[in-house]
Amino acid sequence: MSVQLTDPVQSLPGIGPARAKRLEKLGIADAGDLLLWYPRNYEDRRACASVREAPEHQPVCVRAMVATSPKSSYIRKGLELVKVNVVDDEDAMELTFFNQSYVRTALSVGQVYIFFGTVERKGRRFSMTNPVFEAEDRQRFTQCIMPVYPLTAGISNNLLAGAVRRVLEDCAEQLEDPLPPEVQRQYQLAHTGYAVRTVHFPPSWEELEVARRRLIFEELFYLSMGLAMLKGSGQKQAGPPCSYYDPSEYYLTLPFTLTNAQQRTVRECFADLSSGSAMNRLIQGDVGSGKTVVGAACAWLMAKNGYQSALMAPTELLAEQHYHTLAPLLAKSGQRVGLLTGSMRAKEKREIYAALEAGEYNLIVGTHALLSEGVTFQKLGLVITDEQHRFGVGQRAALAAKGGAALRPHVLVMSATPIPRTLALIVYGDLEVSVIDERPPGRQEIQTVLVGEGKRQQMYGFVRKQVREGHQVYIVCPAVEESEEPAPGFMDLKAVTAYAETLRTQVFPDLRVGLVHGKLKAKEKESAMTAFSKGELDILVATTVIEVGVDVPNATLMVIENAERFGLSQLHQLRGRVGRGESQSYCVLLSANRSGDTLQRLKALCSTNDGFKIAEEDLKLRGPGDFFGSRQHGLPPLKVADLATDTRVLYEARDAAEALLSSDPGLSLPEHRRLRERIEQLFEEHKDTFN
């Protein structure tokens, strides 16, 4: 029976119900899924040599005949040795296998096998330990470039390689190619059948490159197509018409003078807003660069023009904080600001809905609650999202769709994560970008140090010193959400609570220690945060809920426990919670982990305060999948493409996607049906990771 792509894996030889279950954990249910399970690496097993000529320290394939029947012995309980002698034309060699009893029956005297391993020599005596072997006439895993697959318990590499090989034999020709032929021709891409076969079993490195390029292109092409389709045609659409007002009138209401970079960004935004086209702009600015007042300037201009604005923040805490800064600020211009969060009581919410619909608020600040069904605006003209990468692409669109009016509102995105260019291209696509590359005056560089567990007492001493000088301290612990599996180094919320308790009762019994984490009731969270920002707490123990936006200028020390658990960009965000006032601020990274990688990452953080440098480093070290932290951004994951290195292919794929979409915007031509289905399926599968 020949295998079909849609056959369940159980129909393949060697895969029973137990193994099928394990494969399913990897997301492999049918034969087609197996083909998409790409190797993570390869082992070159092509070199062959005789026993005598085999190179030192380098594994090769040796053709030899089994000369003695395998002898097994136990050197201690649980450690079995099987020894076999083999010969080639000139020499004899002794093979040793550890704990592989099946070898006793798998090797027969007089038979010729290919053994892949490193030949060791002592004088004229040759030996090999734990070689891979197979009968000369049934070669599958020797004398080839062997794929090395990502594995799970109970599934061996040979099992996967064997199953993939079987499926390829029967199905490689069945694979339909969703890429339009003209795209394949123009960008000189290999056919899908060839690419898939070759990526699993490459005859040579050169061919592997050709195959990989095709797969990388395909992946980035789908991504570009999908994003472009989500965003619409990319042509400039008309936006809510606005008149220009001189921003200096707004500046007069501020307690400080804006930096040049802030003023430039305000001018760029105002030009967009009054241009007649819909604004689509990203403000990138490192933590503390002062994005909020710039966003508020836009809301101010919209209100002058009779429009409402909405500012969506990723957490309640942040929404509340924005509300507390912006309400008094805009009140000076006679504008009203409202707050809407998920944890408000139904009655409060209803009142806010009504006020919004009646146009009583000029700006509404809120969380995802802004997307609720009940929310309608009288005249929504501008949508601002803060820390946008936390939101899926779809959500931005959902909020914008609440405009009510015929015209799509202007969109402004503020991000503190300095996104490397390649990623910005993917995630933000056609957004215009303003960069606030200047800090408000008087800020000092944060000093960052990395210390091991041995310095814990000294760290406590330093905390005490900061508090004695009248400052406040954050202590951040990595914590898991309840639904996630605890990983080493992460604390569950119980552990965080216990740690806070120890600090309160034993380490700092004389200081005021508070705790916030994501699972507290909104009221409790707020009261702890408010207490901290009013200076009623000396130390705030927190999980990453404080990561974004929280602003307490008197806090001068950020201690991060198990720092190796966080991504660099995330650490940089956390560190940005201090250094917001005039006093010298510090960040102490605690890490017991001394592995080379970890050290390199954490040292990068100690050596620079430049968020862009850190983001580039993060992308290099961890890849884009992790870039956004544990939260997904609603895009399908990349399996072969690497945004840090495949920039050239990314540009090509973008060009190809744009060209195709301009000739067939909705992919409605029959020859593009497969392609459309593929893209819809990819984006559909990951829709629920939008957050």
Range in contact with Mg ion (rule: CB under 5 A) among 36-44, 59-67, 434-442, 546-554: 546-554
Question: At closest approach, how far in Å is the CB of 577 from Mg ion?
Answer: 11
Pairing of strands 145-148, 41-44: antiparallel
Please identify, using beta-carbon distances, which residue of 205 and 256 lies nearer to ligand ADP. 256
Query: How many CB atoms are located within 10 Å of the residue 680 CB?
Result: 13
Place of tokens 């806010």: 352
Q: How far is the CB of 269 from ligand ADP (least distance, A)?
A: 15
Task: Specify the DSSP element, H or E, that contains 574.
Answer: helix 568-575
Task: Choose between 381 and 549: whose C-beta lies nearer to Mg ion.
Answer: 549
How buried is 194 (Cβ within 10 angstroms: 0-12 exposed, 13-18 middle, 19+ buried)?
middle
Residue 426 host element (H or E): helix 421-428
- Candidates 275-283, 371-379, 541-549, 588-596 — which segment interacts with Mg ion by CB under 5 A? 541-549
Q: Tokens 């798998």 label which residue?
A: 106
Nearer to ligand ADP, 261 or 273 (CB): 261
**Of 47-55, 493-501, 543-551, 602-610, which part binds Mg ion (CB under 5 A)?**
543-551
Residue 256's binding partner among ligand ADP, Mg ion, none (Cβ under 5 to 8 angstroms by kind) is: ligand ADP
Shortest separation between residue 325's beta carbon and ligand ADP, angstroms: 7
- Give 147 or 549: the residue with its C-beta nearer to Mg ion: 549
Residues 6+ away with beta carbon under 8 Å from 673:
667
CB 35 within 8 Å of CB 198: no
User: What residue ranges bind ligand ADP (CB under 6 A)?
Assistant: 256, 258-259, 262, 285, 287-293, 416, 440, 549, 551, 580
Q: Give the C-alpha separation, 371 to 367, whole Å.
A: 8
Contact 39, 160 (CB under 8 A): no
Cα(397)–Cα(408) distance, rounded to whole angstroms? 10
d(CA 573, CA 416) in angstroms, rounded, equals 8
Between 37 and 270, name the residue whose CB sits nearer to ligand ADP: 270
- With CB under 5 to 8 Å by kind, the binding choice for 517 among Mg ion, ligand ADP, none is none
* Residue 434 interacts with, from ligand ADP, Mg ion, none (CB under 5-8 Å by kind): none
**Which position's Cβ is nearest Mg ion?**
549
Measured from the Cβ of residue 77, the count of other Cβ atoms closer than 10 Å reads 6
Q: Which does 650 bind (CB under 5 to 8 A by kind): ligand ADP, Mg ion, none?
A: none
Residue 478 engages Mg ion in binding (rule: CB under 5 A) = no
Smallest distance from the beta carbon of 315 to Mg ion, in angstroms?
11
Question: What minimum distance in Å lies between the beta carbon of 593 and Mg ion?
Answer: 30
Report which residue type is found at 500: A
CB 529, min distance to Mg ion, A: 15
Residue nearest to ligand ADP (CB): 290
Pick the piece of the chain touching Mg ion (CB under 5 A) from 148-156, 397-405, 477-485, 544-552. Answer: 544-552
Residue with smaller CB distance to Mg ion, 39 or 549 = 549
Cα(364)–Cα(370) distance, rounded to whole angstroms? Answer: 9
From the list Mg ion, ligand ADP, none, partner contacted by residue 288 (C-beta under 5 to 8 A by kind):
ligand ADP
Residue of 624, 619, 660 whose CA lies nearest to 640? 624
Residue 259 or residue 315: which is nearer to ligand ADP going by CB? 259
Q: What is the DSSP letter of 274?
A: T
Kindly report the CA angle at 508 between 502 and 510, in degrees rounded to 5? 130
Q: CA 458 to CA 280: how far, in whole Å? A: 49
Q: Which is nearer to ligand ADP, 27 or 442 (CB)?
A: 442
Q: Which helix (H) or strand (E) holds 168?
A: helix 157-171
Tell me, what amino acid is at 457? Answer: Q
| Nearest-approach distance from CB 249 to ligand ADP, in angstroms | 17
CB of 610 to ligand ADP, least distance (A): 15
Measure the CA–CA gap between 416 and 318, rounded to whole angstroms.
13
Identity of the residue numbered 223: L
Of the residues 549, 567, 579, 624, which one makes contact with Mg ion according to CB under 5 A: 549
**Residue 580 contact among ligand ADP, Mg ion, none, beta carbon within 5 to 8 Å by kind:** ligand ADP
Q: Among ligand ADP, Mg ion, none, what does residue 268 contact (CB within 5–8 Å per kind)?
A: none
**Which of ligand ADP, Mg ion, none does residue 197 bind (CB under 5 to 8 Å by kind)?**
none
Instruction: Please report whether residue 202 would count as binding Mg ion according to CB under 5 A.
Output: no
Token pair for 523: 């009221």
318 and 518 Cβ atoms separated by less than 8 Å: no
What letter would DSSP give residue 451?
E
Binding mask of the shown chain, residues 490 to 529, with x at each position contacting Mg ion by CB under 5 A: ----------------------------------------
Choose between 311 and 643: whose C-beta lies nearer to ligand ADP. Answer: 311
Closest contact distance (angstroms) between CB of 329 and ligand ADP is 9
Distance (Å, rounded) from C-alpha 249 to C-alpha 333?
9
117 binds Mg ion (CB under 5 A): no
Report the partner that residue 287 touches, choosing among ligand ADP, Mg ion, none (CB closer than 5 to 8 A by kind).
ligand ADP
Helix (H, G, I), strand (E, B) or coil at 324: helix
Comparison of 212 and 291: residue with beta carbon closer to ligand ADP: 291
Are 664 and 640 in contact, with CB atoms under 8 Å apart? no
Residues at the interface with Mg ion (CB under 5 A):
549
